[in-house]
Amino acid sequence: MTTAARWRARVARAWPVAKYVIGLGLAALAFDQLAGHEGELTEAADALRHLRWEWVLAGVIVEAGSYLSLVQVQRVLLRAGRVDLALGPMAGITLAANAIANSLPAGTAIATVFSFRQFRRRGADQAIAGWSVLATFVAGAVTLAIVAGVGAVIAGAEGASLDLVGPIVGALAIALVMGAIFVQGRALAWIVATAVRLSRRLTSWPRDKLAARIGRIVVRLTVVHLSPGKVASALTCAMGNWVLDCSCLAVSFLAVGAAVPWKGLLLAYGAGQLAANLPITPGGLGVVEGSLTIALVAFGGSAASTVAAVLLYRIISFWLTLPLGWGAWAWLEWLARRRPWLAPPAPVGRSGAPAAGDLPGGDTSEAVTG
């Protein structure tokens, strides 16, 4: 084994441990604001013991609306590929995928595979299932970058002092390019086909059978029809997901009896969610709390009330959804054992009505569980 290979092997072995150490370090930065201030820690604990429960209920309601918005994003995108999935099963898949992503190491990758298989079981072929999963991510990335960008504008000079403007602008530019590619199914198909041809010419990979399979998937991508109305609907729902989730954070301040730091709220929220997507800890545990607390305190929030509000927000948006998500996963697994392959739903034509005799492609003779 070469020196470079040995070094890569050592890094691969050390990274699972190192990422959790990094996550804990980032969480420690948040509480460094309170180091040596036992009175403030006592205030935070006291605030959580004396919650305003009407605002806690409001936070639960807006967080539920956030999840329903995400569910609707995925339904709209699947319909663009002529697959119609009912609200109930899609809500279950979304909750279960969220629980997987937020609970397990490499959970995001596992959740992606889980969603892909669930869509396949419900009538989407490989191309449409894979495209819809990726397109959901792109819609979320575009709208989150917009939320963070608006937050940077509202924060003004104070936001620039936190060195967040550059990363946010970069994330917005990348997200918009990705979004433009996914809006045009034919453009995406051309890019994939060109990449395959170039790879075969330079490396002789992929081989004939795999290249032919990729070619069939690329052809299926041209079936996707994202009209301006569907694009607007998907982006509106994706924006609703972030805005309602951020509203849960704002309501959490009211629930602990603190003033909402409106000027830095969107910027801190956007930065926290961008940090949550880093593959450090499941669900951004420690990373989100740390980044939110540091940024909001920098905008003048009381350290004690900010810690209390952020913790309440994470209880509602993170911890409360985990048992619901794993319950949804158990339900979906039970369905999979009862019916190894569900009957595919009626495909949706470009007008939005079921198209007679126009079933999604893919081999539905094999059973895919999970």
Residue (of 242, 272, 209) closest to 142 by Cα position: 242
Confidence of residue 279 (pLDDT cuts 50, 70, 90): low
In a domain, 260, yes or no: yes
Q: Report d(CA 82, CA 76) in Å as an integer.
A: 10
Looking at the chain, the number of H-run helices and the number of E-run strands are 15, 0
Q: DSSP label at 302?
A: -
Confidence of residue 352 (pLDDT cuts 50, 70, 90): very low
In a domain, 19, yes or no: no
**Total-model pTM:** 0.73
In a domain, 365, yes or no: no
The pLDDT, as a whole number, for residue 202 is 84
Q: Report d(CA 158, CA 181) in Å as an integer.
A: 34
Contact 199, 205 (CB under 8 A): yes
Q: What is the mean pLDDT of residues 323-347?
A: 77
In a domain, 243, yes or no: yes
In a domain, 68, yes or no: yes
Long-range contacts, stretch 182-186, CB < 8 angstroms, 24+ apart: 182/131, 182/134, 182/135, 182/138, 182/226, 183/226, 183/231, 184/226, 185/131, 185/221, 185/222, 185/223, 185/224, 185/225, 185/226, 186/221, 186/222
Number of domains the chain is built from: 1
Q: Report d(CA 292, CA 367) in Å as an integer.
A: 44
In a domain, 198, yes or no: no
Residue range of the domain that includes 84: 48-184+226-338
pLDDT for residue 359 is more than 70: no
**Chain segment 151-189, per-residue pLDDT in tens:** 888 887 666 555 666 666 676 677 767 776 666 666 667
In a domain, 74, yes or no: yes
**Chain segment 300-319, per-residue pLDDT in tens:** 777 788 888 998 999 999 99
In a domain, 254, yes or no: yes
Q: How far apart are the first and last CA of the chain?
A: 38
